[in-house]
A = this chain, B = another copy of it.
């Protein structure tokens, strides 16, 4: 049985400044409650209370709880893509090595945008139908990396296909960065893991392709 198609479209657009603030407060409150109570403990009442807004107001802009989370996911994904895009399109990505540095830095920044929220969203993402859009985000991220690799194809190891390598790079980058940020909070530790990440990715991209 496929999960029932829960509508996640916003109910009505806020037109005045007052209501825009309400919506903003609701989104912020959703993030906070989600972090504090996880998805199952996040109730509409709690969110409204945290936002300093009545339940009724919540339901004026969001048809249900899921739509709130979906909106949050969208916003967060937007932020992630922006971070990565800036890192790879700028001048810092002129060489493969510099680009890799920037890439890793961006990967860590993405985790640091709002680590706790990031975590909950990633966990709860499958519940929200907006999963597809999140996959999109992941794919677009991989796309950005692939384009970057193609730009430096000459420096890649023979037999290293950019499309496949981009998947590997994106996946391991995200995982190690996530672990670094959430399990190794101290700055020196994070720095060491960052260096390891550089070794990992550079040796993979330029080292021998054994198969």
Contact = CB atoms under 8 A, between A and B. Distances in A.
Interface of A: 1, 3, 36-41, 119-120, 123-124, 126-127, 164-165, 167-168, 171-172, 174-176, 179, 192-193, 195-200, 202-204, 207-211
A64 to B, nearest CB: 13
Contact of A199 (B124, B202, B209): B209
A97 to B, nearest CB: 9
Majority-rule SS of A interface residues: helix
Contacts of A119: 126
A171 B164 contact: no
A179 B139 CA distance: 12
Nearest to A165: B196
A42 to B, nearest CB: 10
A167 B195 contact: no
B176 A198 contact: no
A36 to B, nearest CB: 6
Contacts of A167: 179, 193
B193 A164 contact: yes
Nearest to A176: B171
A202 B127 CA distance: 37
Given A123-B123, A167-B193, A204 B198 contact: no
User: Top 6 nearest A-B pairs by Cβ distance?
Assistant: A175-B175, A203-B207, A172-B172, A203-B203, A200-B204, A195-B211
A196 B209 CA distance: 8
A123 B199 CA distance: 29
